[in-house]
Amino acid sequence: MAGDATTRDERIAGRERNPKWQNPPLFIDMLDCINCDACLRHCPPNFGAIFNHGPDVVIIPELCSGCDKCLPVCPVDCIHPIDGWTPQHDVPVDWWTLPHSEHDPY
Ligand code: SF4
Ligand code: SF4
C-alpha cells in the first residue's frame, strides 16, 4: 500500500486505485475503438486515466474513477465498465510507463 491514493500522483506512484471510489473503472474495447481521442480529451486531468499507447487508446483502471465523463463523447460506444474489477486485474506493465512520460497528456 502506498497510502490513500487520493491524488493522481499517489495513484501513479503506488499503482493503486483510490479505495473510496465506488464505481468500477472502465475499459476500451480496442476492436471497436476508432482512435478518435475524444475520450482522452474529456477525462478530467485530476484523474488522467486515458492514454495513447502506440496505435491503441487505453484506460489505466487504477487511475479511472468511473466518473463516466468519457462515455457520452465516444462515437462508437466502445467504453465499458470492468464489472467485478479488483486490484488483481493487472494491466500490461508497459502501460505504467505512460503516466508522467512525454505521452502523458494531463
Ligand atoms: S470514467 Fe472518468 S476517470 Fe475514467 S476514463 Fe472515463 S473520464 Fe476518465
Ligand atoms: S472516444 Fe471511443 S472511439 Fe474515440 S478514442 Fe475513445 S474509446 Fe476510441
CATH number of 23-97: 3.30.70.20
- CB of 11 within 8 A of CB of 17? yes
Residues across the chain: 106
Gyration radius (Cα) of the chain, Å: 13
Confidence class of residue 30 from pLDDT cuts 50, 70 and 90?
very high
**pTM for this predicted structure:** 0.95
Mean of all residue pLDDT scores within the chain: 94
Ligand 1 pocket: which of 7, 22, 47 to mutate (most atoms <8 Å of CB)?
47
Domain ranges for the chain, please list them.
23-97
Neighbours of 87 (CB within 10 A): 11
**pLDDT (tens digit per residue) in 40-98:** 999 999 999 999 999 999 999 999 999 999 999 999 999 999 999 998 878 898 999 99
> Is the pLDDT at 1 greater than 60, yes or no?
no
Determine the distance separating the centroid of ligand 2 and the alpha carbon of 56, expressed in angstroms: 10
Average pLDDT for 3-32: 94
